[in-house]
Amino acid sequence: MRVSVIGCGSLGAVHAAAMASLGHDVVGIDVDEAKVAKLTAGEAPFFEPGLTETLQAGLASGRLRFSTDYADIADAVVHFIGVGTPQSRDGDGADLTYVDAAMASLRPHLRHGMLVAGKSTVPVGTAARLAGEIADTGARLAWNPEFLREGYAVKDTVDPDRLVYGVADATHDEDVALLDEVYASIIERSTPRIVTDYATAELVKVSANAFLATKISFINAMAEIAETTGADVTTLADAIGHDTRIGRKFLNAGVGFGGGCLPKDIRAFTARAEEIGNGESVAFLKQVDQINLRRRQRLVDIVTESFDGDATDRRIAVLGLAFKPDSDDIRDSPALEVAARLHELGADVVAYDPEAIPNASRTHPQLGYADSLASALTGAEAVVLVTEWRQFRNLDPEQTAELVARRSIFDGRNVLDPAEWRSADWTYRALGRA
């Protein structure tokens, strides 16, 4: 099938490459010339495992190309919208500038028989508005949200756990048939496919992210209680997680969630709910956000306490800058915020991350950055683990002790074995654990 993907960021670039790998003829469009040049050269513009290989295979097959020119989409039958919907500068709502700009540029090329399939996360009601705006072109609109996780984006796109199609009219089989043709190989594997209306499809995405954020903040709230009572939040999570109704996933307490999705999605959801008169229904999401943000400060506080309340000029190794492992994304990253706050308190912060230093040093040039894990650890008076990259999880207490100036470790993700570190004479501290 001939398809276009408008927007080649963390969602669109992956979607374009993934659609080519499914056998489609794909053109990816972006207004950023540098990004298009990189993609055309087979280089991923951001770190995402498997993306480079998928891109290069697509380019080599002749089925994948990138362009800044909307005229190149003329032959496509399905146009995916994969642009970003960041938090707006002046409030909590989503900024739809990029979606509106993409639709405006697409509009002159739309014809009867084409389907615009929105993948971006948008406030409920957006799809109905956009469908109205393109109705006179004869093209139709579906909302087909994406659930990919960074770090697993390619896999989640070619092998999703469900497909959701929001269509104008559930009896309008042509829209469904076009999406079924795009996703034929995924549907053949009996992947659940939900056909619904626009509002439900839009809400599936934001409510899924709101639920995940709530689950994380729930366990982080328990971590706060555990800190007061001497309980252990990781044992608590294991124990409640055995109940299959609860499940152990997304119950890892620590510095909390960040990234380009969960934080802005819960804020945008709250803002939209208020606009439509349902503010009370999701008022709890404000608490979810606050609990999450409190955990970053709590970690900073316990690190500072270990220096008797004054971290000035103390050398602190911060391990991790990305909002999660296997990503170079620093959007709303708890790790970067912890590093920045320690720096503000006068600490001599030396941060290390396997992938995110180029991004972090652009936005936070004031921080110290090490070019290796060993050099970050050398001379450190405190080691603060904030993003659970494999090489940090696998740190050896004895070997690490040979590098540092003081055996003091703070496990901001609850991924180290406290007993192992304590038996090597380390002072081990974590969030939600005695």
Q: Is 355 in the site for ligand UDX (CB under 6 A)?
A: no
Q: Toward ligand UDX, which CB reaches closer, 47 or 323?
A: 323
Q: Is 376 in the site for ligand UDX (CB under 6 A)?
A: no
Shortest CB 263 distance to ligand UDX, Å: 9
Stretch that binds ligand UDX, among 49-57, 82-90, 246-254, 404-412 (CB under 6 A): 246-254
Q: Is 324 in the site for ligand UDX (CB under 6 A)?
A: yes
Candidates 372, 387, 369, 385; CA nearest to 430 is 385
Candidates 241, 261, 259; CA nearest to 251 is 241
Q: Which residue in the set 44, 81, 106, 148 belongs to the binding site for ligand UDX (CB under 6 A)?
A: 148
Residues annotated as catalytic (active site), given as ranges: 261
Query: Would residue 62 be called left, alpha or beta, if left means φ above 0 and alpha means ψ between -120 and 50 degrees?
Result: left
Candidates 57, 67, 70; CA nearest to 18 is 57
Q: Is 212 in the site for ligand UDX (CB under 6 A)?
A: yes
Shortest CB 61 distance to ligand UDX, Å: 27
Q: Is 250 in the site for ligand UDX (CB under 6 A)?
A: yes
Assigned token pair, 155: 């896999």
Q: Is 10 in the site for ligand UDX (CB under 6 A)?
A: no
Distance linking the first and last C-alpha atoms of the chain: 57
Decide: 110 and 139 in contact? Cβ < 8 Å: yes
Q: Which residue in the set 50, 254, 368, 432 belongs to the binding site for ligand UDX (CB under 6 A)?
A: 254
- Three-state SS for 141? strand
Across 322-421, where does the E strand assignment appear? 348-352, 368-369, 382-385, 408-411
Contacts with ligand UDX in 191-210 (CB under 6 A)? 209
The amino acid present at 174, given as its one-letter code, is E
Q: Toward ligand UDX, which CB reaches closer, 321 or 370?
A: 321
Question: Alpha-carbon torsion 43, 45, 46, 50, what sign?
Answer: negative
Candidates 369, 242, 219, 392; CA nearest to 295 is 219
The amino acid present at 352, given as its one-letter code, is Y
Stretch that binds ligand UDX, among 26-34, 132-140, 248-256, 309-317 (CB under 6 A): 248-256
Q: Which residue in the set 30, 48, 150, 175 belongs to the binding site for ligand UDX (CB under 6 A)?
A: 150
Assigned token pair, 354: 């396997």
Q: Which residue in the set 251, 311, 351, 383 belongs to the binding site for ligand UDX (CB under 6 A)?
A: 251
Spatial distance between the Cα atoms of 409 and 425, rounded to a whole number of angstroms: 11
Q: Is 216 in the site for ligand UDX (CB under 6 A)?
A: yes
Stretch that binds ligand UDX, among 41-49, 106-114, 145-153, 309-317 (CB under 6 A): 145-153
Q: Toward ligand UDX, which CB reaches closer, 51 or 311?
A: 51
Percent helix, strand, coil in the chain, to 5, is: 45, 15, 40
Shortest CB 148 distance to ligand UDX, Å: 5
Binding residues for ligand UDX (CB under 6 A):
147-150, 209, 212, 216, 250-252, 254, 256-259, 261-262, 323-324
